[in-house]
Amino acid sequence: MPERSHSSPSGKIYIYGKHALMEALRNTPHIIRKVFLAPSLNDTELHALLISHKIPTAALAPGSGKELVGKDASHQGVIFTMDPASLLLSLDDFLATLDLGKNPAVAVLGEVQDPHNVGAIIRSAAAFGLAGVLIPEHNQAGVTGSVVKSSAGMTFRIPLVSIGNVNNTLKILKEKGFWVYGLAMSGATKLGTDTFDAPAAFVVGNEGGGIREKTLEACDVTLSIPIHARTESLNAAVSAAVVFYEWSKKHPEAL
């Protein structure tokens, strides 16, 4: 059974599953608030990590936990709460970590509303070697339990960056030497023709409306993916994955 998550009305996120907990413990232990474990769970490495990071734990009584993660959840004796805000870096801090001489790539989310798409984009960005995912504070699905679940734990492995206005962020990236690509169904440049020989920022737009007009104007290149005539368009997350893969082919050192 894969790990899953549930968000409370207060914004605290409950995530369940041993795999998700181990990913968080190994990569971002600071985001974990508290762990609930079944007393019967016997995992030496897990317990050692909890102790080394001084993370508070509590016993999960037999038959309990459904009230935290939902009645249909099979939590397998592992539930933890996390603070999603503590996963996010500032743009300045993130840029300070980059070696621009290696021509890194980042994903910029532009009002992507579906948490499952956000999680899938994060997963693809991690899989194809992107340096980070930039997430706006407004009009955008933030880091939620559903995002963590859809990312298959990659929210704990790839830098997630909180940004304000997308257009202002693109201006900053351009000043740093990034070439900005907008993923658009009617983009002027066909995917596969660009060499991606500069730092790249890939803007992924809203599922229904795509990239906002002003943001599209701020892009240096609009990228389109050639598809069969019988198909009208691709899902936002799928489009992002295809573009990230194409970029990775030009940057095998990122994999």
Helices and strands: H and E segment counts in the chain: 9, 13
Q: Let me know whether 136 and 216 are in one domain.
A: yes
Q: Let me know whether 139 and 193 are in one domain.
A: yes
Six token digits for residue 99: 């070696």
Q: Which domain holds residue 33?
A: 4-82
What pTM was computed for the model? 0.89
* pLDDT above 70 for 4: no
* pLDDT above 90 for 161: yes
- CATH number assigned to the domain comprising residue 127: 3.40.1280.10
3-state secondary structure 128-140: CCCCEEEEECCCC
Give the strands of the sheet with 200-204, arranged side by side: 88-90, 160-163, 132-136, 105-109, 200-204, 179-183, 221-224, 189-190
* pLDDT above 50 for 1: no
Alpha helices in 128-192 (DSSP H): 145-150, 166-175
Rounded-to-integer distance, Cα 247 and Cα 166, Å:
22
Last residue of a domain, one of 82, 98, 132: 82
How many domains is the chain built from? 2
Q: Let me know whether 151 and 77 are in one domain.
A: no
**Distance in Å from the first CA to the final CA of the chain:** 28
Q: Let me know whether 35 and 150 are in one domain.
A: no
Length of the chain, in residues: 255
β-pair partners for 162: 90, 135
- CATH number assigned to the domain comprising residue 69: 3.30.1330.30
Last residue of a domain, one of 25, 53, 82: 82
Last residue of a domain, one of 16, 49, 82: 82
Q: Let me know whether 181 and 115 are in one domain.
A: yes
Q: Let me know whether 45 and 103 are in one domain.
A: no
Asked whether the beta carbons of 148 and 13 are under 8 A apart, the reply is yes
Q: Let me know whether 105 and 33 are in one domain.
A: no
Q: Let me know whether 65 and 106 are in one domain.
A: no
Rounded-to-integer distance, Cα 223 and Cα 239, Å:
10
Q: pLDDT tens digits, residue range 66-118?
A: 777 766 666 778 899 988 888 899 999 999 999 999 999 999 999 999 999 99
